Amino acid sequence: MTLLNIADMLSDILDLQDVYAGIIDGNLDKCIGVYNAKTSKPQRICIGGKACTKTLEKHISVLIHWTDTPTQAEIKAQSVLDILSDIRQHKADGFMVKYLECKEPVSVGRDERGVCEYVIEATVYYERNE
């Protein structure tokens, strides 16, 4: 599963066109970016090897880049968290996303244009493609 698969899934679920993989359009006042998490974790493989491993994990960061109003940005970040936390058994680009384990949104301040930004760290649990 790639960042693009996840960005496409979030675009569909959030009903938002401006969801990007690995980058955002800093000229927009409202968009979301999906990135690989800054910290890496060991890949979890079952004792029998990859063939016996049904569920895989992808660690991501979701950047909510949302208006110059802190309250609106926080409300949007909380809304995104609520939606992500409710994902169960979602088919996305040939992958079955079982669920997402999310941390609370964290404010990372404003960008150079004054747009407020929040980050949600998450782990995507999904079934591997055969």
Give me the residue spans of the domains in the chain. 3-127
pLDDT band at 49 (very low <50, low <70, confident <90, very high): confident
**50-86 b/e (C-beta count within 10 Å ≥ 16 → b):** eeeeeebebebbbbbbbeeeeeebbebbeebbeebee
CATH architecture of 3-127: 2-Layer Sandwich (3.30)
- Close Cβ partners of 51 (under 8 Å, ≥ 6 residues apart): none
pLDDT at 130 over 70: no
pTM (two decimals): 0.92
CA distances from 24 to 35, 46, 59 (A): 10, 36, 18
Mean pLDDT of the chain: 94
Tell me the C-alpha distance between 115 and 128, whole Å. Answer: 37
3-state secondary structure of 69: coil
